[in-house]
Amino acid sequence: MIIQHKRLSALMITLSMTLLLSACGGNTASDNTPAADTAAEGGTVKIKVYAQHFDDDTKGPFDYAVEELKKEMPEVEIELDPAVQDGYQKLKTYAATGNMPDIYFTDWATLQTFAKSKNVELLDDYETTAEYKKNLNPGVESRLVAPDGHVYAYPDTGIEFQLIYYNKTIFDKVGIATPIKTIDELAAAAVKLNAAGYVPMSIFAKEKWISAAFYNGLVTREESQGFGALGEQGMTELPQPFVTAAEQLEQLQQAKLFDANATNTNYDQASSQFYQGKSAMFVNGQWEIYSAAEKLGDQVDWMYWPAKDEATYEASKYYIDGAGAPQGYAVSPASANKETAVKVAAFLAAKSAEYKYTQLGSPIISPKTDKPIASDVPVMMQRVANELLPNAKEYAKLLSNTQIQNAINDNAQNMLVDGFTTDKFTENLNRTLEKENK
């Protein structure tokens, strides 16, 4: 599923954009008093939706949801505004210019910014929200209810996470044993792969969130809460597990695990390297399983995150590199058809989830569905469903402090560049922690 690296999580909210939105947000905050919907001639209510619609993997769930909507709410006409894979920058521009669509799909970092600039409708008191909450799968409440207690969007997926994918054919050809359990083994594999002419691991680090997600994968071997541990008041210095993970990232960078141009590489370029057999590994969320299986068949599999030693690997491999951040279909307070938009947003999210489960076999959805799986499920997803999720010990915790998250994103990306050291990483993070948590 070539998609949600952008969806998940563009964790790149900048202070400048926050201020811009706060200053320029042309929309008026909602008091949760539904506005009278306006219908065009013939009784049609037009709803503009900014949503992911890039390829078969994103078009499928959305188009299915829209077709189902025609049966449920035939008076509604959906106008799709296809989302741009830009970390929600286009959406932020819409907000800054007072041009928000009725409904938009976005992540927690963006929702936080929009909450400040009053560009997101609070969904707390809508009956639709109460019904959505009743139908959630167990353990995914954090996808709907934000840390501040509000509901900003209706989620379709459950708690997603990052995996390392690898090409088994290349590994066999180069002579790399699997599973890779330790950082030293991964560094040694990088040396072998470089010598054989391969890029060891493709990463689209032009998007900062993926280098931060890679770093978080290493952190969770040492600290199961992941980044969430950094949000505690009084934590003014980077804890040792985070320093250890930074040292491991530096070790892997020096072993040339990543391409020298990694921080200028986008998703299309990185995934193309992997699918064309030019790189041996690729990092992305579990949603990549579908594209990987389609393009590489049984040549590809995923591995658990390596640790400092085998004992730590065995003890920590079921700690999940993913946190339950709110995200999904949100509604603009400025919508002329706000009441209808709220119902449509919830419906699109629920039906998108239904498609992901029934057609893609993904167990990682937020709302329940009573329909059966109607298609073949990729072997890698079967591993997730049968091996990983039933044994999951803990998910990483959500970090809601955007200043700390931004500092992690910036500095984790810098760690992929020659000459940027663990000491510099730690110094920069300590400066931010001292300011935010004192």
| DSSP for residue 150 | -
Are the CB atoms for 436 and 404 separated by under 8 Å? yes
Specify the residue for token string 């009956």.
127
Q: What b/e readout covers 209-226, taking b as 16+ CB neighbours within 10 angstroms? A: bbbbbbbbbbbbbbbbbb
Are the CB atoms for 355 and 65 separated by under 8 Å? yes
Report residue 341: phi and psi, to 5°. Answer: -60, -40
- Do 45-159+325-369 and 162-321+397-437 fold alike per CATH? yes
CA distance 234 to 399: 15
Contacts with 148 (C-beta within 8 Å, 6 or more apart), sequence order: none
Task: For the chain, give every domain's residue range.
Answer: 45-159+325-369, 162-321+397-437
Are the CB atoms for 383 and 165 separated by under 8 Å? no
pLDDT at 18 over 80: no
**pLDDT (tens digit, 9 = 90+) per residue, 29-54?**
344 444 446 655 568 999 999 999 98
| Domain 45-159+325-369: CATH architecture, name and number where available | 3-Layer(aba) Sandwich (3.40)
CA distance 152 to 373: 29
Q: Is the dihedral of CA 328, 293, 212, 138 positive or negative?
A: positive
pLDDT at 15 over 50: no
In the chain the first and final C-alpha atoms are separated, in Å, by 41
The rounded percent of the chain whose pLDDT value lies above 70 is 90
pLDDT at 87: 74
**pLDDT (tens digit, 9 = 90+) per residue, 79-113?**
999 998 777 889 999 999 999 999 999 999 899 99
**pLDDT (tens digit, 9 = 90+) per residue, 166-195?**
999 999 999 999 999 999 999 999 999 999
Mean pLDDT of the chain: 90
pLDDT at 1 over 50: no
Q: What is the mean pLDDT of residues 326-340?
A: 97
CA distance 193 to 187: 10
The strand order across the sheet containing 76-82 reads 76-82, 45-51, 103-106, 328-331, 153-154
**pLDDT (tens digit, 9 = 90+) per residue, 343-402?**
999 999 999 999 999 998 899 999 999 999 877 889 999 999 999 999 999 899 989 898
pLDDT at 414: 97
Say whether 334 sits in a helix, a strand or coil: coil
**pLDDT (tens digit, 9 = 90+) per residue, 396-430?**
998 989 899 999 999 999 999 999 999 999 999 99
Specify the residue for token string 């009784």.
43
Q: What is the mean pLDDT of residues 283-307?
A: 95
Superfamily of domain 162-321+397-437 in the CATH hierarchy: Periplasmic binding protein-like II (3.40.190.10)
36: tokens are 């009278």
CA distance 84 to 100: 15
